[in-house]
Amino acid sequence: MMKIDIVTVFPRMFEGFLGESMVSRAVRMGKAEIAVRNLRDYSADRRRRVDDKPFSGGPGMLMTPQPWFSAVEACLAEGEVPSAGGATRVVMLTPAGMPYGQRKAEEFAACGHLVFICGHYEGIDARVNTLVTDFVSMGDFVLTGGEIPAAAVVDSVVRLLPGVLGGGEEATANESFNADGLLEAPQYTHPPEFRGMKVPEVLLSGDHAKIGAWKKRAALDFTRKMRPDLLGGDGKAAGK
Ligand SMILES: C[S@@+](CC[C@H](N)C(=O)[O-])C[C@H]1O[C@@H](n2cnc3c(N)ncnc32)[C@H](O)[C@@H]1O
């Protein structure tokens, strides 16, 4: 069972997300245990304040270190569950982190305990960085808070836990960004023809060898069209 702690000043942002789809299924199946903790509960301030003006001046408020240290230390102390295999990671969502990707999701999925630090306002006092094992960014843009990135990371990790997706390992084996470094080939369902657009004939043939060969070719063509940056200079994907 993977243990996940999410620390935030806006715990209600996770209500809908945690109650639906694969994440709630993983919790119901006992594959993951997810706790959303309100940072204010760890503030030593009598008015539960978690922010203050930055010493460097400028607009906005910065999150103070004390509530973060108390919250993360509580997560680490309570996270020592014997059933949790693998290591604990403390993940800060920040635009300064490395852009998130499937390799990182796989790495996190092998851990026993993940603690997410969701910043807000102008960000977090830099001393909190000493608690962190992984700095993760959603990309080169600035969001209002770390809650949406944390939700994205949790979703991407939980669906990789064995047994969570129906269809076994095959369900994630042929997806985009796997070891072959390619996007998944385009897929089709019924009807075989829609508004004059036909499903490629080979996919209706039932010939699995031919379909397999078509998928490989189509994945390469699709990657070249949509994400040429994933292909090396020789036009081949990194893992090929
Ligand atoms: C308004 S942002 C602070 C931005 C900070 N002042 C800066 O310029 O880097 C508030 C919080 O949103 C989260 N955040 C914003 N953009 C993000 C991104 N691209 N990836 C991950 N987290 C992000 C972080 O947790 C951050 O502490």
Does a structural domain hold residue 201?
A: yes
Q: Among the three residues 99, 125, 158, which one is the final residue of a domain in this structure?
A: 158
Tell me, yes or no, whether 131 and 222 share the same domain. Answer: no
Atom 12 in ligand 1: residue holding the nearest Cα: 145
Under 8 Å CB-to-CB from 233, ≥6 apart: which residues?
Answer: none
The pLDDT of residue 31: 95
The domain spanning residue 148 has which CATH number?
A: 3.40.1280.10
Render the burial of 181-195: b for 16+ CB within 10 Å, e for the rest.
bbbebeeeeeeeeee
Q: What is the pLDDT along the chain (240 residues), one digit of tens a residue?
A: 999 999 999 999 999 999 999 999 999 999 999 999 999 999 999 999 999 999 999 999 999 999 999 999 999 998 765 444 569 999 999 999 999 999 999 999 999 999 999 999 999 999 999 999 999 999 999 999 999 999 999 999 999 999 999 876 667 777 888 878 899 999 999 999 999 999 999 999 999 999 999 999 999 999 999 999 999 865 555 444
| Ligand 1 center–CA 94 separation, angstroms | 5
Tell me, yes or no, whether 152 and 213 share the same domain. Answer: no
The domain spanning residue 218 has which CATH number?
A: 1.10.1270.20
The pLDDT of residue 240: 42
Tell me, yes or no, whether 55 and 129 share the same domain. Answer: yes
Q: Among the three residues 158, 193, 217, which one is the final residue of a domain in this structure?
A: 158
Structurally, how many domains does the chain consist of? 2
The pLDDT of residue 239: 45
Question: Alpha-carbon dihedral of residues 55, 58, 60, 63, nearest 10 degrees?
Answer: -20
**Residues pairing with 124 in the sheet:** 63
| Ligand 1 center–CA 99 separation, angstroms | 13
For 240, the 3-state DSSP assignment is coil
Name residues contacting ligand 1 (CB within 6 A): 93-96, 118-120, 122-124, 137-139, 141-146, 149
Pocket test for ligand 1, best of 90, 93, 118 (most atoms within 8 A of CB): 93
Helix axes 147-158, 21-28, angle to 10 degrees: 60
Tell me, yes or no, whether 78 and 140 share the same domain. Answer: yes
Structural domain containing residue 215:
176-230
Tell me, yes or no, whether 110 and 151 share the same domain. Answer: yes
Q: By C-alpha distance, which of 147, 105, 137 is closest to 11?
A: 147
| Ligand 1 center–CA 75 separation, angstroms | 22
Tell me, yes or no, whether 218 and 152 share the same domain. Answer: no
| Ligand 1 center–CA 144 separation, angstroms | 6
Strands 113-118, 88-99: pairing kind: parallel
CA separation for the pair 208, 79 (Å, rounded): 46
Does a structural domain hold residue 171?
A: no
Does a structural domain hold residue 39?
A: yes
| Ligand 1 center–CA 121 separation, angstroms | 8
Handedness of CA 14, 20, 23, 26 (dihedral sign): positive
Does a structural domain hold residue 166?
A: no
Would you give the DSSP letter of residue 196? Answer: T
